[in-house]
Structure 1
Amino acid sequence: MTPRLFLIPLLLSVLVAASSAWSQDKGSVDPKPLPPLANPNDPKLGAKELFARKILPAAMPTQSIGSYAKGCLAGAVQMPLNGATWQVMRLSRNRYWGHPNMIALLKRLAAKAHKDAGWPGILVGDIGQPRGGPALSGHASHQIGLDADIWLTPMPDHKLSREEREDMSAVMMVRDDRLDVDPRVFTPGHVLVLRDAAQEPAVQRIFVNPAIKKALCREAKGDRSWLSKIRPWWGHDYHFHIRIRCPPGSPECKGQPSQSAGEGCKPSDLAFWFKDSVLHPKPPAKPPKPRPPVTLAQLPADCKVVLKAPDAKQ
């Protein structure tokens, strides 16, 4: 769906400039804890400051609460940092927590990437914080444990060092002119991995760079129904973003409408994304004013309970 016109200037000035870089920001092998807040009960304090200071999940039954971009997560599960067919990146962010359904899906996808595409495995980027909620940087979504980023760089055939996990960059998949993928790095294996992810029944959307969507439309063979879940969006040059539906047992979870049945491959479906004004946006004449941060009071009421709950035992 074409974004609403009144959102375009803001999206172009913020998302295009920053989104791709967020997933490539380097981490630290020696992360320092955030300093204590002077007034954690300040009603104007951004909820991101509170959730970022929670190192462990809430000792509560698992529930995704609220929406992908305004919510929290109770009873999160950690993605194991190493598996036979996956490795987690940017450990210093502590964003490798999610709903158990998402963690199970990532493990399945890793095995399928190995089997179907011949990759050693996948590199897992951000999932969510231990209690979900807004993050200090990088994402508007990833708040309820149902979003995850997967690098488009196959996992190397060896265990990465901590330094590599913090410093290594993913590979840019898009050509310099932004009109198509770079055939030197985007391979048939990428098509198979994205197909495997989209064919998971719980997956509702997968966000990719528009050039990647264009390439998938061109290269997909056989059953192409999975293409309807692949959505072009800004900032996905290096990774793809999986989003799953609200799971059973989370009555306070607010999902999104299901995708239309079409492949989304018609010229009219993709035309917006390849306009010169979208590919090469001009900076706004007047920079937009920063929005005030979302406060705890603006999140679902149960998120306050999640925030105050004791730490889960590890």
Structure 2
Amino acid sequence: MNVKKLLTIAALGVLVASCGGARDISGSKAQKADLPTIGELAGPLANVEAKKLFGTKSMPTAQSSAAYGSYAKGCLAGGVELAESGPTWQAMRLARGRNYGHPELVDMVTKLSQFAAQQPGWNGLYVGDMSQPRGGPMLTGHRSHQIGLDADIWMLPPNSLSLTRSQRENISSISTRRASGAYVNSAWTRSHHEIIKAAAQDPRVSRIFVFPGAKVQMCDDERGNRSYLNKIRPWYGHHYHFHIRLACPRGAQGCVDQTPPPAGDGCDDARQWQANIINPPKVAPKPQKKPAEDPQPRRELVLADLPAQCKAVLDAN
């Protein structure tokens, strides 16, 4: 089959690839979608590590905004920059170039910052990593944050919203955990609860990742409607920041949603995480493996692993 015909097939979106079965940072399986992968259409770049291609792009594309692929295997067309500073937010670690996202994410974060500015002790939000200008795998750090629908919000209440670029590189967030994440520490406040609750109540949000002790504390403290707690999921780390994940925008073609959380408020599950931290389950020792049987490091994604649309995103102006 010639290249022209392949390109036509790709444009029609009838090539099928099972990119929805990959696990992302929540540990739950993404929904399966019929998305073509780049494969042989990528030409000489097919086997180049995708992070080396997307991680060097400093500008978004002029395409219509679209998220392609899944949170941990995809890219972002028409990304929007979260302004470095606003009335109620500042983007942090600007040297990373990760203050970009789908327009829905930028809108959600800025509105959440306005709510945060009304909370005692908060002037707004310090916004950590979102996505690169064109999404895709990052040179360092996250496996997710690839399609412009993830954002990390610092646990540190902003004292100043006029930090210089240099200050934003050197200031650190605060940890809100103790006992390895089984409980919150004295830095945790009711304002943290209310800000995370407000984020979860936004219908565009599908999940929020926090450390187990924070979820348990929110479960214990909530006296009103508990339905939003379903979206707040315990996960490793996430004590210096909480992680917001939006669902695929309505009508998005080629965006792969994560499987919805189980029904219920999820509090029993969080308490089980907490119990396992306090009293780790006893695990029988594994038999000694020969060196040749040692697991291999996880393979880096190459351009050919990504949805076919990501080649156009990479090449676009």
Whether the aligned pair in 2 keeps the contact of 1:205 and 1:243 (CA below 8 Å) is yes
Structure 2 counterpart of 1:181, from 181, 184, 199? 184
2:230 paired with 1:228: yes
Partner of 2:261: 259
Quick one: structure 1 residues 122 and 281, their matched pair in 2 at CA, closer, same or farther if it must change by over 3 Å? farther
Provide structure 1 residue ranges, at least 5 long, that are not aligned to the other structure. 1-10, 16-39
Whether the aligned pair in 1 keeps the contact of 2:85 and 2:161 (CA below 8 Å) is no
Find the aligned partners of 2:103 and 2:278 in 1 and give their Cα distance.
Answer: 41
Q: Report the alpha carbon displacement of residue 214 of structure 1 after superposing the two structures with TM.
A: 1.0
Find the aligned partners of 2:279 and 2:254 in 1 and give their Cα distance.
Answer: 36
- Provide TM-score, normalisation by structure 1: 0.80
Report how many aligned residue pairs link the two structures. Answer: 272
Partner of 1:275: 276
Query: What one-letter code is carried by the residue in structure 1 that aligns with 2:313?
Result: V
Whether the aligned pair in 2 keeps the contact of 1:225 and 1:261 (CA below 8 Å) is no
Quick one: structure 1 residues 280 and 211, their matched pair in 2 at CA, closer, same or farther if it must change by over 3 Å? farther
Structure 1 counterpart of 2:73, from 46, 70, 81? 70
Quick one: structure 1 residues 92 and 228, their matched pair in 2 at CA, closer, same or farther if it must change by over 3 Å? same
Structure 2 counterpart of 1:54, from 29, 54, 57? 57
Higher Cα radius of gyration: 2
Deviations 1:219-271 (A, max 9, x none): 122111111100000120100000011113521001012333411112x5531
Deviations 1:253-295 (A, max 9, x none): 01012333411112x553145324997999x988743222111
Give the 3-state SS of the residue equivalent to 2:57 in structure 1.
Answer: coil
Deviations 1:6-37 (A, max 9, x none): xxxxx9xxx9xxxxxxxxxxxxxxxxxxxxxx
Whether the aligned pair in 2 keeps the contact of 1:117 and 1:190 (CA below 8 Å) is no
Whether the aligned pair in 2 keeps the contact of 1:273 and 1:279 (CA below 8 Å) is no
Find the aligned partners of 1:217 and 1:152 in 2 and give their Cα distance.
Answer: 18
Q: Report the alpha carbon displacement of residue 179 of structure 1 after superposing the two structures with TM.
A: 2.1
Structure 2 counterpart of 1:162, from 148, 160, 165? 165
Query: What one-letter code is carried by the residue in structure 2 that aligns with 1:179?
Result: A
Quick one: structure 1 residues 195 and 279, their matched pair in 2 at CA, closer, same or farther if it must change by over 3 Å? farther
Find the aligned partners of 1:170 and 1:275 in 2 and give their Cα distance.
Answer: 26
Find the aligned partners of 2:93 and 2:75 in 1 and give their Cα distance.
Answer: 21
Query: Percent identity between the aligned chains?
Result: 44
Give the 3-state SS of the residue equivalent to 1:154 in structure 2.
Answer: coil
RMSD: 2.6
Partner of 2:216: 214
Find the aligned partners of 1:233 and 1:210 in 2 and give their Cα distance.
Answer: 7
Quick one: structure 1 residues 234 and 309, their matched pair in 2 at CA, closer, same or farther if it must change by over 3 Å? same
Find the aligned partners of 1:177 and 1:293 in 2 and give their Cα distance.
Answer: 30
Partner of 2:305: 298
Find the aligned partners of 2:180 and 2:71 in 1 and give their Cα distance.
Answer: 32
